[in-house]
Amino acid sequence: MKSFCIDRRFDVLCTGSLLGVKGYGYKEDEKPASSVPVGYETIEQMYPLDFEEFLWAAGLGDSVLAYLEECIENKIPVSKAVDSSLKNLFLQYIVVGGMPEAVSIFSETHDMGQVLGKQRSILDEYKDDMVKYADTKDKPRIRECFESIPRQLARENKKFMYSVVRKGGRSSQYEGSLQWLEDAGIIKRCYNLTTPQLPLDGNADSAFKVYMTDTGLFTAMLEKGTQGRILRGDLYQYKGAIFENLIAETFSKMGRSLFYFHKDSGLEIGFVINHKGEATLVEVKAASGNAKSAKTILSHPDIYHVGHAIKLGNYNIGESGSMLTLPSYMAFLLKDDPIDIIVPEVDVDNLNRIAESLARKR
C-alpha cells in the first residue's frame, strides 16, 4: 500500500471482513501479518445497512426522510398514516437486518424463509472464520462467547458475565476471545459509566454489555419462529433485548461509542450519549412505560448534572419538560451537527516585539 501511495498513479481499495483482526491470514506457526503503513492508508469501518439505508432499499424517497427530519426538529407528531407504515417497516428491518445480501433477497422476494436461510449461512461463515483465523487455543472460546450473546441479553441485568459463557468462566479465559469478535466487527461493547457526565469515555468503568452489530443476525440466532413473533409484536420480555440491541447497533453505525449507566441502587439507563454537546440519557422501551430512572436523574441536577433525556419506544413525538419521546424508528435521526471550533489567531509579530522589548529592559 505504501508503494502505491507514493507512486500516486493508482487508487487502490482493499476490502475484507477480518482486516481488523491482528495476524489475519496467518496460522500460529507462521510469521505475523505486517503492520499497517501509518500515513499511507485511509481506514473506513463498514457496517451493515442502517434503517435509513433500509428505507432507501424499500423505495422510500427523500421526501419522507425530509418530513421526519422536520418533525423531529420542530417536535411535532408524525402523521398517523406515516407513523403506522414506518413502524411496520421498522419491524421488518429488525428481522431482516442490514446485511446487504439479506436486504436484497427481502426486497426481491419478501420471503422471510429465504432471508433467514441467508442469515444463518452468514452466521455459519462467521463460525468458519473463527476456526480458520483464530489461534488454536482461542477457537472454542471465541465460539462460546459468540453463542452466549442471546443468553446474555435475555437476562434482566444485561451486563456481560463470563459465567454465562461457561460455568466458572473467568475474564482471564475469555477476554481475548471477546476482543477477537469485536475486532472482526461482529460485536460492540457498551461500557458502564461511573457517572453520566462528559467526557463519557473518561467516566467509563470495566463493566460492559455486548451487542451484535446486526440485529437481523441476532434474531436469526434465536429459535425458529422468532421472526414471526417479532412481526406480530408478541415477544414479551425478550422484546426489550431485541430493541436494545437495535438501538446499540443504530448508535454504533453513527460512529458513537456505546455507554450505559447502572447503579446498585437500581438506577438503570439503557444508553448515555453526547447529544448536541450535552450528556443525554436514552431509555429504550419496547412498549409504553414509565421512565422512572431517567426522571430520578433529571430531578437531581446537583448530583448528576444531566438536563435532558430521550425515551424511545412505541410513541409518537412528544415533549414533557426535559424528556423528549420519540418512536424507536427515529433513533437514526439523533445526529449531531458538526461543531465548528474557531481557533483565534495570535499576532505573532506583536508577541515577538513584546518579547524583544522585555529583553532590552532586562
> Per-residue pLDDT tens for 153-166?
988 889 999 999 99
Confirm whether 341 is domain-assigned.
no
Of the candidates 260, 293, 314, which is a domain's last residue?
260
Cα dist from 258 to 10, 282, 310, whole Å: 37, 11, 15
Containing H/E element for 92? helix 80-96
For residues 27 and 64, membership in a common domain is answered with: no
Confirm whether 162 is domain-assigned.
yes
For residues 112 and 3, membership in a common domain is answered with: no
Mean pLDDT for the chain? 89
Between β-strands 308-313 and 268-269, what pairing exists: parallel, antiparallel or unpaired? unpaired
For residues 1 and 77, membership in a common domain is answered with: no
For residues 16 and 90, membership in a common domain is answered with: no
For residues 40 and 55, membership in a common domain is answered with: no
Confirm whether 182 is domain-assigned.
yes
Confirm whether 358 is domain-assigned.
no
Q: Count of domains in the chain? A: 2
Q: Can you give the pTM of this predicted structure?
A: 0.87
pLDDT tens digits along 104-153: 999 999 999 999 999 999 999 999 988 888 888 889 999 999 999 999 99
pLDDT tens digits along 166-204: 999 999 999 999 999 999 999 999 999 999 999 999 999
For residues 65 and 192, membership in a common domain is answered with: yes
Q: How far is CA 54 from the centre of its chain?
A: 16
For residues 26 and 171, membership in a common domain is answered with: no
For residues 172 and 33, membership in a common domain is answered with: no
Residue 25 has pLDDT above 60, yes or no: no
pLDDT band at 28 (very low <50, low <70, confident <90, very high): very low
For residues 22 and 84, membership in a common domain is answered with: no
Give ∠ CA 178-179-185 in degrees, rounded to 5: 95
Confirm whether 284 is domain-assigned.
no
Q: Which three cell numbers stand for residue 354?
A: 513584546
**Nearest in space to 278 (alpha carbons), one of 303, 312, 305:** 305
Of the candidates 260, 286, 314, which is a domain's last residue?
260
pLDDT tens digits along 317-347: 999 999 999 999 999 999 876 666 788 898 9
Distance of alpha carbon 3 from alpha carbon 23, whole angstroms: 21
For residues 83 and 31, membership in a common domain is answered with: no
Of the candidates 212, 234, 260, which is a domain's last residue?
260
**Nearest in space to 50 (alpha carbons), one of 7, 105, 94:** 94
For residues 203 and 228, membership in a common domain is answered with: yes
Give the residue numbers spanning the domain of 212: 51-260
